[in-house]
């Protein structure tokens, strides 16, 4: 059985749409526009075009059974985050997870529950 081709990485604008869909669940263009249009000053047709492009790229799926088509992410949020983070880590930190974490935590205060979760994660590795 052949492997399916990898899903393309979303652009910054596409990530914004994915964030809305992960939060709301399956949604119409109107619903997404209601969230994204306010934050990014995008028109309805720009959001529609982005979502159609994302559908063509395999980033979204669509239900066309109703008049208002519903869209949802083709991949789970965690899978998309891992792919984007892995790409960023490879490009910026030469693949070093340790360097990435150190840079992310420098000069930041962690809540006690965040520290505890990190300790547990490190114990398991």
Please compute the mean of the pLDDT values over residues 117-124 and round it to a whole number: 87
- Strands of the chain (E only): list them: 60-63, 70-73
42 and 94: one domain? no
How does pLDDT run across 72-120, given as a tens digit for each residue? 999 999 999 999 999 999 999 998 988 988 888 887 888 999 989 988 9
3-state DSSP percent of the chain in helix, strand and coil, to 5: 60, 5, 30
The answer to the question of residue 45 being in a domain is yes
The residue written with tokens 């492009």 in the block is: 53
62 and 91: one domain? no
pTM: 0.80
The answer to the question of residue 100 being in a domain is yes
The answer to the question of residue 103 being in a domain is yes
44 and 69: one domain? yes
The answer to the question of residue 111 being in a domain is yes
Gap between the terminal Cα atoms of the chain: 33
Q: Of 65, 9, 11, give the one whose Cα is nearest residue 42.
A: 11
Write down the pLDDT at residue 108: 83
How does pLDDT run across 44-83, given as a tens digit for each residue? 999 999 999 999 999 999 999 988 899 999 999 999 999 9
């Amino acid at each position: 059985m052949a492997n399916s081709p990898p899903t393309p990485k979303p652009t910054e604008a596409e990530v914004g749409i994915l964030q809305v869909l992960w939060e709301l669940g399956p949604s119409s263009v109107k619903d997404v526009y209601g969230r994204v249009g306010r934050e990014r000053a995008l028109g309805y047709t720009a959001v529609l075009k982005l979502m159609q492009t994302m559908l063509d790229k395999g980033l979204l799926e669509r239900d066309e059974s109703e008049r208002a088509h519903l869209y949802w992410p083709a991949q789970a949020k965690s899978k998309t985050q891992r792919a984007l983070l892995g790409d960023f880590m490879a490009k910026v930190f030469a693949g070093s997870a340790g360097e990435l974490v150190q840079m992310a935590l420098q000069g930041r205060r962690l809540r006690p529950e965040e520290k505890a979760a990190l300790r547990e994660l490190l114990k398991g590795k």
